[in-house]
Amino acid sequence: MIFLGLILVLLAGGAVVLVATEESARYILFGYTFQPDHVEMFAAGAVTAAVLMAGLLLIGAGSRRSARRRRQALSARAEATDKVAKLEDEKRDLQRRLEREQAAERQQAVERRQAAERERTAEHRRPPVPQQATGDRLVARGSDDTRS
């Protein structure tokens, strides 16, 4: 829109310059000769003013539209930055929690190994438990019937 507005402003400016630089009421444009009367000259001036105003309006509207798009882009970028910052904070929190859990698991593994080691060393220190004879006592000692 801004580009079209600039073209219209330049066309209107070119028409004003053409009228201002000619010494007579006879104008040569693109190989054609024009000799307008007072009413045609007024109409040409009105059309030139309308083209100039349309160009200025297009430039203004395009500028406002561009500014609005820039503001929206900046706010979207700011929101994205906020989201990224929140995600990074959440990631850091999750990493800390994971590190704490891993440290706790390592500590538990160390404690289990130490308990197992203590249990093994305690078994070596215990006096051996005498094994009890299995079966019938009479059979183990021998019976009186076999002595005769």
Span 94-110, pLDDT tens digits: 999 999 999 999 999 99
Q: What is the predicted pLDDT for the residue at 31? A: 85
Residue range 74-88, pLDDT digits in tens: 999 999 999 999 999
Quick one: pLDDT band at residue 1, thresholds 50, 70, 90? confident
Fill in the DSSP letter of residue 73: H
Residue boundaries of the structural domains of the chain: 2-97
Residues 106, 107, 108, 111, CA torsion sign: positive
Q: What is the predicted pLDDT for the residue at 122? A: 76
From residue 88, how far is each of 7, 69, 79, 145 by CA, in Å?
Answer: 49, 28, 14, 92
Residue 120 amino acid letter = R
* 2 neighbors 58 (Cβ within 8 angstroms): yes
Q: Where are the beta strands (DSSP E) in 12-146?
A: 27-29, 32-34
Q: Is the pLDDT of residue 41 over 80?
A: yes
Mean pLDDT within 41-68: 94
Q: Which two tokens stand for residue 25?
A: 């009421």
Q: Is the pLDDT of residue 53 over 90?
A: yes
In this structure, the number of other CB atoms found within 10 A of the CB of residue 5 comes to 19
Mean pLDDT within 11-39: 85
Q: What is the predicted pLDDT for the residue at 135? A: 57
Mean pLDDT within 17-40: 84
